[in-house]
Chain A
Amino acid sequence: GAVVSQHPSWVICKSGTSVKIECRSLDFQATTMFWYRQFPKQSLMLMATSNEGSKATYEQGVEKDKFLINHASLTLSTLTVTSAHPEDSSFYICSAMAPWGFQETQYFGPGTRLLVL
C-alpha cells in the first residue's frame, strides 16, 4: 500500500513550451501533497505544498505563475511548468501525505526528469 506514481517519468521539451507533471496516490486519498525539485548531486528542495480544493502554498523564491499547481482531487496533484526554459531542467519529485497514524509520513513518487532544450 501507499504507492505514489508520477507521469511522465521523463520529458524533453522545447524552450517556451509548457509541461504538465502528474502525481497520483494510487491506493489512498491524500489531502496534502508536496512538490520538490532536485538538481544533480543535490538534495530535495521543497517547492510548494498542494492542498486539495485550495490554493497551493509556495516556498519563498518559487514563482507561482511559473510553477502552476492544481490539486483537484484527493488522489491527483499536477505541476505545470509554464514557458519552460533550460534552467527549469531538473528532477521533480512529489510526495503524498498519508492520512493514517500520527507519524506524518510522506510517500514519495519515483520522480520526473525534465529536460528543456
Chain B
Amino acid sequence: KQEVTRIPAALSVPEGENLVLNCSFTDSAIYNLQWFRQDPGKGLTSLLLIQSSQREQTSGRLNASLDKSSGRSTLYIAASQPGDSATYLCAGLVTGGGNKLTFGTGTQLKVEL
C-alpha cells in the first residue's frame, strides 16, 4: 500500500528565508508526484507536478525534486514571503492505481514578517 508522509509537520520561519519541505513515499512504482498548496478552509492549488521520468520541476520561486530510489521528494521555496503561509501537501499517483492520488499529511507553513 502506498504511503506518503511529510516532514516536518509545521514550520515557522521569518520572511526571506529559503526553506525545504520533504515528502517521503513507500512505493517505487510512482507515476508522478504533485505538490499542492491549501489555504485555510479552501481547496487545493496545484503547484508542481513531477513525472517519474523527471528529476525536478521549477515554477518561479518553487522547485520540486523527485528521487525515486530514496522515495523522497523535496519542495524548495526561495525567499519566502508571508503570502506563502499555507499548508503544503504532496500526493503520489501510483502506476496501475486507477489514477488515485495518495496524500501526505501536509506541512503547515507560517512565514512571519
Contacts and interface: CB of A to CB of B under 8 A. Distances in A.
Contact of A113 (B31, B32, B41): B41
A44 B46 contact: no
B41 A104 contact: no
Interface stretch (B13-21, B66-74, B99-107): B99-107
A66 to B, nearest CB: 20
B106 A104 contact: no
Size category, A interface: 20 to 34
Contacts of B61: none
B58 interface: no
B104 A110 contact: no
Interface in B88-107: 89, 91, 93, 98-106
A49 interface: yes
Contact of A49 (B36, B42, B100, B104): B100
Nearest to A113: B41
Interface string B42-71: 111110010100000000000000000000
A110 B98 CA distance: 23
Given A103-B32, A105-B46, A109-B43, A34 B51 contact: no
B42 A42 contact: no
Contact of A106 (B101, B102, B106): B101
23 contacts: A6-B43, A32-B99, A34-B101, A41-B108, A42-B106, A43-B89, A43-B106, A44-B91, A44-B103, A45-B103, A46-B100, A46-B101, A49-B100, A57-B98, A91-B41, A95-B44, A103-B51, A104-B31, A104-B93, A105-B46, A108-B43, A110-B42, A111-B43
Interface of B: 31-32, 36, 41-46, 49, 51, 89, 91, 93, 98-106, 108
Interface of A: 6, 32, 34, 41-46, 49, 57, 91, 93, 95, 97, 103-111, 113
